[in-house]
Amino acid sequence: MLYKNPLVRLVLKVLGFLFLIIGAIGTILPLLPTTPFFLLAAACFFRSSIHFHDLLLKNRFFGSTIKNFHEGKGMPRQTKIISIATMWVFVSISVFIGFSYSSDWIIGFTLILAIIGTWYMAHLPTNYPK
């Protein structure tokens, strides 16, 4: 369902394109995940632009992954493993850097969010390729 407020739709489109660009960069950079950013882009386009949402779902490289996720079929095992590993690499870097500069509650909050994200990803259905 599209938002009626044009300003909200514009913000969501901009965010959708931002996540799409970050996801595209992730196809080149080995440590940057791709699928979560494409899922975020799809969620933003779902609420802001049917046209861009449909284009993303018809993409020959990532359209099926996004479609499977939306339909509750889950993610491929390799995608889940790479996403969780990448998340923990960046969380570890953040905690290591933040250990000297941040308070303990910020580091603790970061770790709690990472644990929740890991739990969520681990409990998604695993979609086995045919």
pLDDT in tens, 47-104: 999 999 999 999 888 888 888 888 888 888 888 888 888 889 888 888 888 777 778 8
Alpha-carbon separation of residue 68 from 51, 64, 87, 125 (angstroms): 19, 6, 21, 10
> What integer pLDDT is reported at residue 129 of this predicted model?
65
Q: Is the pLDDT of residue 30 over 80?
A: no
What confidence tier does 27 reach under pLDDT thresholds 50, 70, 90? confident
> What integer pLDDT is reported at residue 47 of this predicted model?
93
The CA distance from 47 to 130, in Å, is 31
> What integer pLDDT is reported at residue 31 of this predicted model?
64
The CA distance from 14 to 2, in Å, is 15
Is 62:45 a contact under the CB 8 Å cutoff?
no
Which pair of structure tokens corresponds to residue 67?
Answer: 């479609």
What confidence tier does 44 reach under pLDDT thresholds 50, 70, 90? very high
Global confidence as pTM: 0.66
What confidence tier does 36 reach under pLDDT thresholds 50, 70, 90? confident
